[in-house]
Amino acid sequence: MKKKIILIAGVLLSVMMTNEILAQENTGKYGSDSITCIQNNSLYYEFYKQWKKSGYQNESWNDALPSWRWVFLNCPRSTINIYLHGEKLMKHMIKITGDKAIKEKYIDTLMRIYDQRIQYFGKEGYVLGKKGVDLYKLRPSAYEQSYSILKKSIDMQGNKSQGPNLIYYFRSAEKMVKAEKAEKATLLDIYDQSSKIIDYNIANAKDEKKKKSWLNIKGNLDLSIQPYASCEDLVNMFTPKFEKSPNDVDLLKNIIKKLDKRNCTKYPLYKMAVENLHKIEPTANSAELLGKMYIKEENYKKAAEYLKQAITLSEDDNDKADIHYLLANVYFQLKQYSTARSHCYSAIKLRPNDGKPYILIGDMYVATAKSCGDNDLTKTVAYWVAVDKYKKAKSVDSSVAESVNSKIKIYSQYFPTTETIFFYDLKKGDPYKVECWINETTTVRTSD
């Protein structure tokens, strides 16, 4: 058996003598000896079919090999099956051989199969992808060559690139970075390029199976980039691109997406990208993002300006409710309580089962309670309407009950005493109108 394998290896080594072979080759599809070409094509294919039918388990591959070799050398234009079947045959031989030197020759032959397929049947970008992946898997030390092959393939194929090609493109570049043969920025560029291809294929997947496959590729790539994608890394990668093309909509969206995903929104680049995008292509989302950024900077007037734009641009009632609530918080900070309350009620109108706006109104009543009075009674009556709002909150939204109950317990202690209400000629259960900006009617209660 060993002699047989060595004989096969010797035969395959002659494949590398391509210059002599091509010099003898006729330009016709079947070469200079068309009859022999057709016969050998038929002969190897019969054995190959037997091998395939056995689930690639029997020894028919061995019988197919001599005729396949003759066709490969003498009539390489005759059929693309030479390369499809040759790839399968060679990978099988690589798998079963235990001789490292012979295995390397088989790998060389597999690479030649890919090159010759491109020469005679085209589809260079697609075939280079297969070649680059197999070279990386079978000969890990050739990662630089794999990188170059896969880079060319992906540059040519674009959105038609295969998922595994993107993964091995990244891995080959990662080896180069670890060997200090490439900068870390190379990985970020590859990640950026690959992410666009992946997102395109996810969005255009024709069925759930393909979509799931691309989502797995995305997860793999996201996991791989993590050690190299700190906020500083991303900012350093995108800043030169932003400076070169500050109004490139696709670039701006990509910067925002990547920095947002890595929670890098505190960096000036993120804010500049959102601002530029909003100027070119204003949306509710970009306006809201700017509003939130100005909130973090405690520039509440500017935040309010953008959040009002967001409400105008939004077409979704649920989103509008969120923005109204956010805007209410902004006006609370600006101490414009009536305006804040108005936005709370706008949020409630859009989403009646949300308790948070009622809680916020109650909190504002608590915050202004003492400033809205000038005696022992009027400095405490705002706590009545605050508790009213807290109770309303949990009546429409059970999810807030726990936090609301705590507030009710705390602020009920600030109600006036029985002695105080008696002094002002009031009794429990009486209606009472709270003045100041609050201007609401409630019921008299005491803390004791």
Three-state DSSP class for residue 144: helix
Instruction: Tell me the mean pLDDT in the region 305-317.
Output: 95
pLDDT digits (tens, 9 = 90+) for 353-388: 999 999 999 999 999 999 999 999 999 999 999 999
Question: What whole-number percentage of the chain has pLDDT above 90?
Answer: 72
Instruction: Tell me the mean pLDDT in the region 322-346.
Output: 97
pLDDT confidence tier of residue 230, bands split at 50, 70 and 90: confident
Query: What pLDDT sits at residue 25?
Result: 44
Contact 390, 400 (CB under 8 A): no
Q: State yes or no: pLDDT of 199 exceeds 80.
A: yes
pLDDT digits (tens, 9 = 90+) for 234-274: 898 889 999 999 999 988 998 998 888 888 888 999 999 99
pLDDT confidence tier of residue 62, bands split at 50, 70 and 90: confident
How does the average pLDDT of the chain come out, rounded?
A: 90
Query: What pLDDT sits at residue 183?
Result: 87
Instruction: Name 352's Cβ contacts closer than 8 Å, sequence gap at least 6.
Output: 396
Hunting for tokens 């959040």 — which residue is that? 307
Query: What pLDDT sits at residue 15?
Result: 39
- Whole-number Å distance between alpha carbons of 375 and 382: 13
Q: State yes or no: pLDDT of 64 exceeds 90.
A: no
DSSP secondary structure code for residue 180 in this structure:
T
Q: State yes or no: pLDDT of 29 exceeds 90.
A: no
DSSP secondary structure of 287-301: HHHHHHHHHHTT-HH
Name the residue with higher pLDDT: 15 or 126. 126
pLDDT digits (tens, 9 = 90+) for 148-168: 999 999 999 999 999 999 999
Q: State yes or no: pLDDT of 23 exceeds 70.
A: no
Tokens read off for 172: 């080959």
Contact 187, 193 (CB under 8 A): no
DSSP secondary structure code for residue 109 in this structure:
H
Contact 142, 171 (CB under 8 A): no
